[in-house]
């Protein structure tokens, strides 16, 4: 039963106490400020539960904690807007503490079974018409930003969702990979354009 319990606390002293009496307990330090995260508390806990505004202002925190083999959970103060969820789903956070479990479950379902991998290559959009971008490929809501025919795009990641591939081309910006080619250049297709 002890392995199923997570203890969250704002009190470092309480977590030190729990570590002594329950050495295998999963302890999570809740913080509302970066100043509270230090190397005296980190060895005592398994994870940090940070306010969403801290993680949004300092996104490096996610990778930094993961490099220290600590998980990061995010919480918001009763204002989990769709914009926050769209932002969070594009990050590698380990969980969200929410007062809106139905919303959290919707995003969990949307992201389950997906695969994200690094690409870091330049491509060209070869579609015949402009295409809308979206904030994330998990819950696909089109934005009023576009990629135009023959536009170069810097593809940082590929995300496979429901057997479709999406490319991340900027921070919080994705497009369908359908007409993006990472190998062909304008000169490669120029003879085909002339024949038409």
In a domain, 75, yes or no: yes
**What does the pLDDT read at residue 92?**
82
The count of structural domains within the chain is: 2
64 and 77 belong to one structural domain:
yes
In a domain, 31, yes or no: yes
Measure CA 182 to chain center: 24
How many other C-beta atoms lie within 10 A of the C-beta of residue 178? 13
134 and 151 belong to one structural domain:
yes
121 and 29 belong to one structural domain:
no
- State the pLDDT confidence band at 28, using cuts at 50, 70 and 90: very high
- State the pLDDT confidence band at 191, using cuts at 50, 70 and 90: low
97 and 124 belong to one structural domain:
no
104 and 133 belong to one structural domain:
no
Q: Decide if pLDDT at 29 tops 90.
A: yes
- State the pLDDT confidence band at 75, using cuts at 50, 70 and 90: confident
User: How confident is the prediction for the chain on average, in pLDDT?
Assistant: 86
- State the pLDDT confidence band at 192, using cuts at 50, 70 and 90: low
**What does the pLDDT read at residue 30?**
95
Q: Decide if pLDDT at 65 tops 80.
A: yes
The residue out of 111, 146, 173 marking a domain boundary is 111
**What does the pLDDT read at residue 60?**
92
Q: How far apart are CA 80 and CA 104, in angstroms?
A: 9
In a domain, 191, yes or no: no
Average confidence (pLDDT) over 83-109: 80
In a domain, 152, yes or no: yes
Range of the domain at 35: 2-111
58 and 154 belong to one structural domain:
no
Q: Decide if pLDDT at 175 tops 90.
A: yes
71 and 158 belong to one structural domain:
no
In a domain, 126, yes or no: yes
Q: Decide if pLDDT at 40 tops 70.
A: yes
In a domain, 187, yes or no: no
CATH number at residue 12: 3.20.20.190
16 and 107 belong to one structural domain:
yes
104 and 15 belong to one structural domain:
yes
């Amino acid at each position: 039963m002890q392995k199923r319990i997570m203890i969250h606390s704002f009190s470092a002293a309480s977590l030190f106490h729990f570590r002594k009496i329950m050495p295998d307990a999963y302890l999570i330090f809740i913080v509302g400020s970066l100043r509270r995260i230090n190397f005296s508390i980190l060895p005592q806990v398994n994870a940090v539960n940070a306010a969403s505004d801290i993680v949004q202002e300092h996104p490096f925190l996610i990778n930094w904690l993961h490099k220290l083999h600590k998980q990061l959970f995010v919480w918001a103060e009763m204002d989990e807007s769709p914009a926050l969820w769209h932002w969070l789903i594009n990050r590698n956070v380990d969980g969200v503490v929410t007062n809106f479990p139905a919303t959290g479950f919707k995003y969990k379902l949307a992201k389950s079974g997906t695969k994200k991998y690094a690409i870091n290559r330049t491509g060209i959009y070869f579609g015949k018409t402009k295409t809308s971008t979206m904030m994330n490929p998990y819950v696909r809501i089109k934005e009023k930003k576009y990629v135009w025919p023959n536009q170069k795009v810097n593809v940082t990641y590929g995300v496979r969702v429901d057997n479709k591939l999406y490319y991340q081309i900027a921070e919080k910006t994705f497009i369908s990979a359908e007409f993006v080619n990472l190998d062909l250049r304008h000169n490669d297709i120029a003879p085909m354009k002339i024949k038409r």
